[in-house]
Structure formats: structure tokens, C-alpha cells
Structure 1
Amino acid sequence: MVNFNGQLHSKDSTFLNQDNRGLQYGDALFETLRVVNGKVFFWEEHYFRLMSSMRILRMEIPMEFTMEFLEAEIKKTVDANNLKDSGARVKLLITRQPSGFYIPTVNEIDFIIKVESLPDMFYVLSDKSCEVELFKDFYANPDMLSNLKTTNKILNVVAGVYAQENGYHNCLLLNNKKQVIETINGNLFLVKGTTIKTPPLHDGCLDGIVRKKLIELINGLEEFELIQESISPFELQKADELFSTNAISGIIPITKYRKKEFQVKVSKDLIGKLNARARLA
């Protein structure tokens, strides 16, 4: 079942048309959420990021769009898909209502909630290899729009096609200053000794929820120093460890970049702490 503006529809039904602005112009935002046993991981952070993003894009936020209202709609959709007692991947999509061309004539929104099952109840570190390469065909802009989780993800899609065509599992994206900002599907962290580095938001990386949570978590650990600083491609092969993060997988270890193979030690240590933080959130 899919939730469109509070009404449940079967997954094979048609409730959007060719005038949808997300389709026409990429005029949409989304949040991807992990829900376990009816609990939305880091819901408060997701909610406030969504509200902030809607304001930046000058979308009109409905009066009923409280944290409680949207959480109830998410849980209603999870329940309708018989996933109340298991793990679920939830996508909450916000689109400006059909009107106008590049200039919309209204700023009211529609929302869509879709749900899929997840194999694991909590974050589990993958033991699969993950070889990455730099994607240098196109670059991200280091600005606030790049921080938002919009449906304008053609850079990520083309990078994904490049990875498939060349036998890589993922790609590292660059901004137009040739700084490494993220992977196709997550924020990037680099470990060197006792220092953990992640790109700052002004470099153009996504303002990720798990990124934020890991920064808070690492800042509370005595054994590591967290730095938000630009990452040069030349640093990658000198790193002890690389990993990416997102709301569904938690932490994704990167095992190889060119001739360099990486440890997974810090990732293993942090995944348990992240699960503990998620259960308490």
C-alpha cells in the first residue's frame, strides 16, 4: 500500500499524472527512513530537516504537518503493509502541486509515503567488498541546494551507471573544486590514525542524518578526534579506513580504492554505538 495525501492506495494504482512537478522539474524533496517495530529511527532529526528544506525551497507547509501527524501517517502506511513488527524502509516524498512551468503558480504540496521491507531489524555491517573510484565526468556545486535531499539526483544516477559499467560497487563524488564530498548513496568519513574526517556542509555534501549522529557520537569518544574538513583525492590512499553512512544502512565500509585496501576496524566499533543511539532516539 502507498499513502498519497493520507489516503491508502494499492501499489499498482495510478494517482499521479504527467503534470507532477517532481517528474517535470525535479521539484520535490524526500526523506528515507528506517522503521523498526513501529519506531522511526531519528524521527525528530528527519522531521526538522524536512521542514527546513521545504522552507528553503519556498514550499507551503500545511498547518497539519506536525511531527505527530507525519509520524502517524508513516506508521499507518507501515501497518497497512504488514510491517509493524519488522524492519521497514520508508520513503516520504514531498512534491509541489502541479501548476505553472518553471515558475509555479501555487506552492501547496502533496505527500507520498511508500514502504518496503528490510531484512535486518537494526544496522548490520556488511561483509561484502566495496571497491570505489572517483567520478570525474560531472561535479556537484558547493552550495546549500547540494545539502538538501531533493529529487535532483541525476549526478548520483549517472555516477551509478559509471560504477556498473566499470565494475565498481560505488563512486566518490567531487565538487567543482575537485574535493571529495560523498559517495553515490551516503556521506563520507575518512579515518587516519585517531583522526576521523568528514567533509563540511559548505563543500556541498548532503546534510545527512546519520552523518550528524555519528559526528555527535565520535565527539563524545576520547579515543578519536572528529574534524569537518575538505578531503582531497590525494588523501584517500593514505587513509587507514573509509566508510560512508546513510539512514538505511547506517555504516557502509569501503574496502578498496585503486590499489589501497582498507581496514574495517573503526566501522565495527561505531556500528554498535550507532545502534544504541538509534534505540534511544
Structure 2
Amino acid sequence: MINFNGNIVLKDSNILTENRSFLYGDGVFETVKIVNGKILFLEDHYFRLMASMRVVRMEIPMNFTMEFFEEQILSLVKRNNLVQSSRARITMFRNDGGYYLPVTNDVSYLIHATALEEISYTINTNTYEVDLFKDFYITKQLLSSIKSTNKLLNVTASIYASENGLDNCILLNDTKNVVEAIQGNIFMLVGNKLITPPVSEGCLNGVMRKQVLALAKKLPELTVVEEIISPFDLQKADQLFLTNVIKGIQPITKYRKKEFTTTLAQELTTLLNELIAV
């Protein structure tokens, strides 16, 4: 028997009592965008998920191929009639048993999907204000570059942003350099130089980050680099924007007292939509 919200119930009636992702954050996940029955950037998502599982020493099922990954997601999307535009999350977690030390490295998975309103990526140029989140810091290590189910820092930063009327927060690492936003990688344009922090700074190895880097390198007027960004550098920027696979590119229009233009974000969004041909 267990106590669940003040009620004594059978232990087996609550599947979370032994779930390692719930108890210890012992899980990794991917969030994908599906458009017209196609998972965007499928290969990048698949290999990042496999790499994440290897980092945390999970056993990868023999049948967990990219084709299996695709079929499981698309069958759910179709069953829920979400084929036109949707997002899906696949969470891999180590099977029940043990405390910090698991009794097995075998895994189970959970997929859920929800509808999205937009098919193409759209650019939002409305006021989008950010500030630094300095209560907690990201550590510069390999675990920071994967999507684990332990996201307390991001959750707390989201609450802070809401309490302070912000649209997002910029996260810092343990050497007080800029890493990323709560839910996306960050890019900074200074003159003709487009800069994003290297993964070694602790940022997520984002799928959309990879696409935007490749697209930006095709623009002859830009120099594209991965370099350390300090909070002071943000004040010198001409443009700032965030990237993730669901939203695409989100321009930042205001950081503290400085306001930014959005022209590069708009240009890259056009190129992104041409790339996915939706």
C-alpha cells in the first residue's frame, strides 16, 4: 500500500512508484515536429537519442532502428488524427528496480503527441523580452548537451520568467558565460558575425541549432562561428534569436534596455521553410 494525495491505495495502482524517470530523472527524450506525415530532421533526432542513451549507459534495444522510431511515432500521430502538423515526444527510461544503482539497463519508452497550429515555420516579431537567470547555473559537461528528464533548472527558470513578465530567460554556465535559453539555443549577430556558444560550454546539441548553422553558412555576407558569449556581449549585439525544432527561430526584441531588429531571423526562417519544403 502507498499514500497518494492522502489516500491509501494499492501500490500497483500507481505506475510511478517504481518508475526511474519519475524517481531519479533516469531518462532521456526527444521532441520532434511532424508535418504532413513526415518527421522533420528524423536522422538528427534519432542519432542524438541513440547518443544520449549511450552516454547514460542504457541498453539500446536491437529493434530500435530509425525506421522503428519513425513507425512508432507516425502510427500514434495517425491514430490521433494529427498528421497535418503536430509535435511528439519519445521518452526512454530505464526499467524499474534499484535505487541510484539500477538493477537493469534495459529500457522502456513512452510516446505522446499533440497538435500544432502552424504547418510552416512562422516568424514572430512581436515584443519578446528576455533577461538573465542567475539563481542556478548549467555545468560544462557532456550531460548538459543531452535531453535528460531532469529539467529542474529549466522549470525554475520558466517560473522566474513568468513571475517577472519575461518571455524567456538566458541561462548561464558555472563560469558565468551565456549557454542557451530555457527552451532553445541562442544566436547573436554582431555586425556580419553570427555567434552561438559551442556545445562544450554546456548548451544542448540542438537539432535546429545544427540546421541554422548550416543555413547561415550559405549566406555570403555572414561569418558564422561557435564562440563563448559573455553577458556583456549581449549588450553589443545587433540581433539575438533563439532556435528549437518546434518553434523554428524566435527573435529576441528586447534584453534589458536594449532593443533588437529581426531581419536575419526572418531571412533564415524563409530559408528553413525552403529546406523542409512544407
Output the TM-score relative to the length of structure 1. Answer: 0.92
What is residue 8 of structure 1 aligned with on the other side?
none
CA distance in 1, matches of 2:142, 2:209: 16
What is residue 95 of structure 1 aligned with on the other side?
93
Counterpart residue identity of residue 115, structure 1: A
What is residue 113 of structure 2 aligned with on the other side?
115
| Cα offsets for 1:144-181 (capped at 9, x unmatched) | 10000111111111111111111111100000000000
What is residue 16 of structure 1 aligned with on the other side?
15
Counterpart residue identity of residue 28, structure 2: L
What is residue 234 of structure 2 aligned with on the other side?
236
| Cα offsets for 1:55-99 (capped at 9, x unmatched) | 111000001000001100000000011112x10011111111111
CA distance in 1, matches of 2:71, 2:230: 43
What is residue 64 of structure 2 aligned with on the other side?
65
CA distance in 2, matches of 1:161, 1:41: 30
Counterpart residue identity of residue 30, structure 2: E
What is residue 186 of structure 1 aligned with on the other side?
184
Aligned to 2:265, what secondary structure does the other structure show? helix
CA shift, 1:127, in A, is 2.9
Q: Is 1:158 paired with 2:149?
A: no
CA distance in 1, matches of 2:162, 2:70: 36
CA distance in 2, matches of 1:151, 1:80: 26
CA distance in 2, matches of 1:52, 1:16: 27
CA distance in 2, matches of 1:90, 1:75: 9
What is residue 8 of structure 2 aligned with on the other side?
none
CA shift, 1:15, in A, is 8.3
Q: Which moved more, 1:215-224 or 1:190-199?
A: 215-224
Q: Is the 8 A contact 1:124 1:271 kept in 2?
A: yes
Q: Residue 276 of structure 1 is aligned with which of 263, 274, 277?
A: 274
Q: Is the 8 A contact 1:41 1:279 kept in 2?
A: no
Counterpart residue identity of residue 233, structure 2: E
What is residue 195 of structure 2 aligned with on the other side?
197
CA distance in 1, matches of 2:120, 2:61: 32
Aligned to 1:163, what secondary structure does the other structure show? helix
CA distance in 1, matches of 2:43, 2:277: 13
Q: Residue 133 of structure 2 is aligned with which of 129, 132, 135?
A: 135
CA shift, 1:275, in A, is 1.6
Aligned to 2:111, what secondary structure does the other structure show? strand
Counterpart residue identity of residue 206, structure 1: L
CA distance in 2, matches of 1:187, 1:194: 19
Q: Is the 8 A contact 2:125 2:262 kept in 1?
A: no
Computing the radius of gyration over CA atoms, which structure comes out larger, 1 or 2?
2
Q: Residue 216 of structure 2 is aligned with which of 212, 215, 218?
A: 218
Structure 1 residue runs of 4 or more that deviate by more than 3 Å after TM superposition: none
Counterpart residue identity of residue 72, structure 2: E
What is residue 123 of structure 2 aligned with on the other side?
125
Counterpart residue identity of residue 216, structure 1: A
CA distance in 2, matches of 1:173, 1:101: 31
What is residue 6 of structure 2 aligned with on the other side?
none
Aligned to 2:194, what secondary structure does the other structure show? strand
CA shift, 1:17, in A, is 2.6
Q: Residue 169 of structure 2 is aligned with which of 168, 171, 174?
A: 171
Map 1:70-85 onto structure 2 (within 5 A): 70-84=69-83
Q: Is 1:28 paired with 2:36?
A: no
Q: Is the 8 A contact 2:192 2:221 kept in 1?
A: yes
Output the TM-score relative to the length of structure 2. Answer: 0.93
| Cα offsets for 1:187-220 (capped at 9, x unmatched) | 0000111110000000000000000111111122
User: Please, which runs of 5 or more residues in structure 1 have no aligned partner?
Assistant: 1-13
CA shift, 1:128, in A, is 2.7
Q: Which moved more, 1:32-41 or 1:127-136?
A: 127-136
Task: Give the RMSD, CA atoms, in angstroms.
Answer: 1.2
